[in-house]
Amino acid sequence: MATHDGTTSTQLSPQALGAALAPLADVLGDRLLTPPAPAFAETAALFVGGPPRTPAAVARVRTADEVAAALAVARDTGLPLAVRSGGHHQARHGLVDGGLVLDLRLMDGVDIDAAARVGHAQGGVLAGAYTAAAGAHGLATGFGDTGSVGVGGITLGGGIGYLSRRDGLTTDNLLGAEVVLADGSVVQANAHENPDLFWALRGGGGNFGVVTRLDLRLRELGTVTGGMMMWAPAPEVLTTVLRAFTEGPEELGGMVNLMVAPPAPMVPAELHGKPVVMALLCHSGTAAAADAVLAPLRALGPVLDGVQELPYPAMFEGAGGPPPGGMGDARTGFVGQGAWSPDEAWAADVIDAVAGAGGPAAVNLRAMGGAIGRVDPAATAFAHRDPVLMVTVGRFAPTVEELPTASAWVTSTASALGVSDRGYVNFMGTATEQDVRNAYPEGTLARLREVKRAYDPQNLFSSNHNVTP
C-alpha cells in the first residue's frame, strides 16, 4: 500500500483494517460503509468509468468534525485517501484502491444571502441544487453546464460554463472557504485569512485540504435565452457557430460539440450515427439582444432549434452528465491566442476527425476570453487566461480492451488540431507528474508547492493531480 510520503507498506489484513476503522465507525455508525454493505457499490461508483477501483471503506460525513475524524484515521494508518463530491472527474480522483473515500455528498446545505449577494454551499452540494436555490432569488453563480457536478470540485479546479465570459470562472467568484486541513484543524481561507491558501484553492484542486463550505459571489440573473441547436456538419457552419461565441457579446456562453449524433427522438433519423454540430447556448442578456446574436446561427438552417426563453436553473435540469460507468479516453488543452480565430480549414479537420473515429467520439469546444481573460494570471492558481478555445477530444470505449484504440485516436486528433499541452485539471483524464506540470506554469507550480509544504507537508491529499510538497 502506498503511504502519504510515497513509501510502501503492507496491505492491511481484514482484521487490521477493522481495527483501524473502529474509531471512525464509532463516530459515523452506519455511514461508514465497507463491502458488502448494500450502499457501498453506489457510493464507490463515479460517472467516468475505467478499470475498476475498490476502496476499503467509504466515510459519508456530515460535519467538519466528522471530516477531521476521517482524516485522522487516514493519517494515523497510512490508508490512501480520496475525497469526492459529485464524482465526475475524468481521472477518477474520488476513488482509491484499498483506501478510504471521504464522501461529502451528505453535506448538501445551501444558504442564499440575497442581500449580500453571497451563496454559502457545503462541500457536497451539486451545481444544479445550488443553482435552483439561487434562482429562487433571481440570482446565480456560474458553474459549468451539468447539474450533477459537485460545486466544490468544479470551483477548486476552475469552472468554465455558461456565464464564464460574462462573470469569470467559478473560482474567480469564490469569496472564501472553510477548510479542514490534514492535521484536522478547521480554518477559514479568504482574502484576509490565510490568503496564500485562498490563492491556491482557486485552481489548485483538492491538494490542500477538504473544503466543507464555499462562499460564492452571486449576480442577478432570472430569465435567459438558452437551449440546444444542431446542424448538419460543414466547415462554414462550425466556424460561424464558434465565432458567435469567441467574437460575440460576453452574454453568450455555452459550448459546441462536433459529435456523432445519438439515436435520440429529437434528432432527425437521417443524422443518427453521423457527425453533427451541436451547441448548448445560454444568452444572459435581453431577449431582443439574444435574437440578434442568434439570427446568423438560425440562418445556417439548424436541423434542431430548442433555444427559448427560460429560467436560468432550467439550463441544468436533466443535465446529469454521462451515465455512471461510461468509459473512454479524453484529452483537454487549449487552442489559439490573441487574434487567432477558427477558420474553415481547421473546422474541416475537426469534422473529418470525428467522421473517421471508428466509434462514438466528440470534440468539445468552449470559448475562453471575456471576463476570464481580464483576471491577472498571477491572481489565482488557474493561470490559463489567454487562450481562445478550450478543446476536449474524447472517444468512448465499450470495453477495457478497446481503450488503447480510443486513446490512439484521442492522441492523433489532439495533435492534428493543435491542442496545446497546457491542461485544465478539471478535465484531465490522467494524473501524472507531467500532467501537473502541464496544468500550471512554472512559477505557479512553484508557489503551489510552497503552499502545499505549509498546509499538507506529508501529502495526505495525494489522490488528485498531485502537487507534491
Tens-digit pLDDT profile for residues 263-303: 888 888 888 888 999 999 999 999 999 999 999 999 999 99
Burial annotation 361-380 (CB, 10 A radius, 16+ → b, else e): bbbbbbbbbbbbeebeeeeb
Q: What is the pLDDT of residues 313-352, one digit of tens each?
A: 999 986 444 444 456 788 899 999 888 899 999 999 999 9
Q: Quote the cell numbers at residue 57.
A: 471503506
Whole-number Å distance between alpha carbons of 22 and 19: 5
Q: For 223-427, CATH number?
A: 3.40.462.20
Site of grid cell 495525494: 462
3-state SS assignment for residue 187:
strand
Domain 110-220 = CATH 3.30.465.10: yes
% of the chain beyond a pLDDT of 90: 70
C-alpha–C-alpha distance, residues 160 and 157, integer Å: 10
With contact defined as beta carbons under 8 Å apart, do 110 and 133 qualify? Answer: yes
Residues 6+ apart with CB under 8 A from 457: 469
pLDDT of residue 322: 46
What is the location of CATH 3.40.462.20 in the chain? 223-427
pLDDT of residue 88: 56
| Fold that domain 14-103 belongs to in CATH | 3.30.43
Task: Report the DSSP pairing between strands 57-60 and 100-103.
Answer: parallel
pLDDT at 356: 92
What pLDDT band is residue 412 in, cutting at 50, 70 and 90? very high
d(CA 341, CA 364): 16
HSE, side-chain direction, 13 A CA sphere, residue 104 = 33
427 falls in which pLDDT band (50, 70, 90)? Answer: confident
CA atoms of 366 and 377, how far apart (whole Å): 19
**pLDDT given for residue 52 in this prediction:** 58
**Sign of the alpha-carbon dihedral angle for 24, 25, 26, 31:** positive
Q: How much is the pLDDT for 5?
A: 42
Q: What is the DSSP letter of 150?
A: B
Confidence (pLDDT) at 349: 96
Which residue in 208, 176, 203, 202 sits closest to 189, CA to CA? 176
The string of pLDDT tens digits covering residues 444-460 is: 999 999 999 999 999 99
Query: pTM here?
Result: 0.91
pLDDT at 208 (0 to 100): 97
Domain with CATH 3.30.465.10 in the chain: 110-220
H-state helical runs in 136-272: 151-157, 164-167, 195-204, 235-247
pLDDT of residue 433: 87
